[in-house]
Structure 1
Amino acid sequence: MIDETIKFTSEISATYINFLNVNIRLCGQQMLTQMFSKPTDTLLTYDSFHNPHIINAIPKGQYRRARRILSNNKQFQSSMRNITNKFLNRGYKKKKLAPLMEEVNQLDREELLQTKGQDKQYEGLFIQPPLFCYKRVVCCSSVMKSSTVNHPMKGTPIKIKNVFTCETKFVVYMLKCPCGMAYLGQTIRMVKERIKEHRNNIRNYKTNTATDTPVSRHFHNQGHNVSQFRWLVLEKITQTKRGGDVRKSLGQREAYWIKRMNTSAPAGLNDFWSLSPFL
């Protein structure tokens, strides 16, 4: 059964036919082609949030299409003016349209109608086409992207002062599970390497093995899975001009954040923290 909102229309003529964006008609012994557009066709406004490259390319594409379709030069000039007016009504600037019109006016219609052959100049460079692929870092899908983080217990927002990447080193980080509990940790390596270890421990958890950690144990006991794992960096430790032990400072800041976020067990997932950085 056909949906009532779908309507079919038909046009019958012995002298013309509309197909896609072309109107083909008989004029005496000649066959002429003209532009055709549906009443519902519209152009993007100039202030649209599309990529600027797309917005700027649309006028030239429309002018080239008119040059290619219209077989009569007089009709082509008239169509160019109509197209320009449509763009002006949609907020496009005349100073940007004018050079495009001039450029398309210089094009040879016969060349535009030719099928482009394959350029053989560089075919010997690649016996097989190159393969370009991009792989997203695994931990990027689970990072919490925000300039603030909510306290795990109180829910109050805490501002994060700096911007970090998955390759930042000497950081204090926080892990969160879907039930709201949190774990505070620190690493001197790129944080993505430490996060990858946490994910692997959750995925491959076995009791009384190296994968048995407070985080992986909690995820296993509560029935969470690794796709629900979330993390973010709270702070990066940098060496001061006076020098000092960066690792010791890192341990002190970890203890500070554990206390501030109240992530010590049983409220959180930190089952212990050391006083050695303060000694």
Structure 2
Amino acid sequence: TPKVLMMLILKDIIWKDEYLLVTCDVSSLYSIIPHNIGIQAVQYFLEQSGFKQQQIDFILDGILLILENNFFWFKDSFFIQITGTAMGTKFAPSYANLFMAYWEDKIIFPHLAAKNLVSYHRYIDDIFFIWKGGEESLNLFLNDLNVNSWGIFLTSTYSTNHINFLDLEVFISNSTINTRNHFKDVDANSYIEMSSCHYPPWLKNVPKSQFLRVRRNCTQEIDYISQAERIKEQFLDKGYEIDTLQNCIEEVKKIDRKDLIRYKKPHNRTTDKHTFNMPFICNHSGNNHKINKIVTKYWPILKEDPILSQILPNRPKMVYRGCKNLKQILVKSSLRTQPPTHFLNKNKGFYGCGSCLACRETNSTKRHITSFTYKDKKEFTIKDQLTCFSKCVIYILKCPCNLIYVGRTIRCLHTRIAEHVRNIKKGLETHSVSQHYKKCHNSNPRNLMFCAIKSVSKNWRGGDFNKRIGEEEMRCIYNFNTLIPNGAMSDHIYFVAETHPNEILKDIIWKDEYLLVTCDVSSLYSIIPHNIGIQAVQYFLEQSGFKQQQIDFILDGILLILENNFFWFKDSFFIQITGTAMGTKFAPSYANLFMALCPITYILWLEDSLSERGVGYSREQKMG
């Protein structure tokens, strides 16, 4: 690192009385770089690096695209940064670094020839140098640097014996330049808790990395011992064990500091492919050891591949990144300004007007709906202020037989509901709502209840809004449990009966000779014969009006699933020759259709018997 290189150079400098320690900081570097000079700087170093002109032009065009589109968001408005570069841009540090290097080539380095600068070092916008010539000449030099057309303004500090630079405290002792770790006055104990949800070996290495940093920064061992004790107390406050910390201090103390500040050549993935160990990266969790065991166990299989064997190491390198903490989950990256509240604000909920075409056609009066119940008597609270004229909403329809449909619209709600009403009146079978009303309600839209339940706003960053509102619609469908096929994989999948079996049973008058009976099909998923299961699906597909070509396609897909029911058990693969794997997404629908078909002749007989005896029957999935 630049700091290590600086310490390597400083240790050989013999201090003289006329020397001054100087640090400078470039004020607001990222935001003051003129575009034209920044582009010149990049071009200057690209040409020195031997790039072809075509490559240089391409890179400069890309940089210009970034610089001219420096948009940022502040207080609910977009702005464009007309000078400098956004600090969050990945290329910004390199761009600022090249700009400063270009400035050094043109302004600073000529002074090196004049022997005023004994030593000069920079890390992006932080500068450290040793000046020879006294305070007066130094001030003249710094004033000259601040008079420029580059936008650079340096704030500087100098001393004859002591100065701070980055995390180093540079001081003079016995005519030599020494360093130790610099602790800022505002520093807090921000070390990670030992109880944090991180990979345990990584947590144990945190103290050692800090002790190594102090050992590297301290030229004198006495400074290392005192500063290591200070850091040890901070780690103790975070729950680390004292014995582990003390052993770590002693272990680092034995390391020769020369080895820590020795310059190491940067690793080059292009030229050092034979030494590069490609890591397997995943989030840390309690199951990491299982993943590690599985990957290690089957690593030899990957090594047998003729291409991968030339790239992969002999053993996998497992790297675990930190999982999301509560702050990352709960805190938003940007806060929107909340509209002011006043006494005229309405309560949340859906306000039906009672006068629009949709309300008139469905016989709906003026109303205020704040919540509604769906399956299993769960309650959904409406958290927005919605009306018949609201746009970009998720809405529900409820028919007189307590069936729910979930839909979405980006137009006014009353416009979309009016379309449903027209389709119902026409008796169209191209949509689930109108088809249901034709079969069950004589194509009469009266008493159709509609209600907007959620407003979906456009993302301030832009993006695909149709995808956004579609995802919200599917989320509501899932939460309200309306995604249940009316037949096998039918097009009308949004209706679900709200009526609980209890609602059916409540009208039955109990007699002494009655018996309450429940049945459960043992191991249903694994006992379904393939041929009968296929017959069941085909039967209901034909009843649903699918074309023969569609039916054949669906049956071929199901047969592919059934004939390839592979599973892993005790280090071996097996195939399930009857039934279907329970984990398959289509398994519940498949089993339900099988149950709907198999007892059909028995139930027809049973219905006659039940009608004579006055007893009720119902089945929920596989329960009868």
- Using the size of structure 2 for normalisation, the TM-score is 0.24
* Greater relative contact order, per chain length (Cα 8 Å cut-off, separation 6+): 1
Bigger CA radius of gyration: 2
- Using the size of structure 1 for normalisation, the TM-score is 0.48
> Which is richer in helix?
2
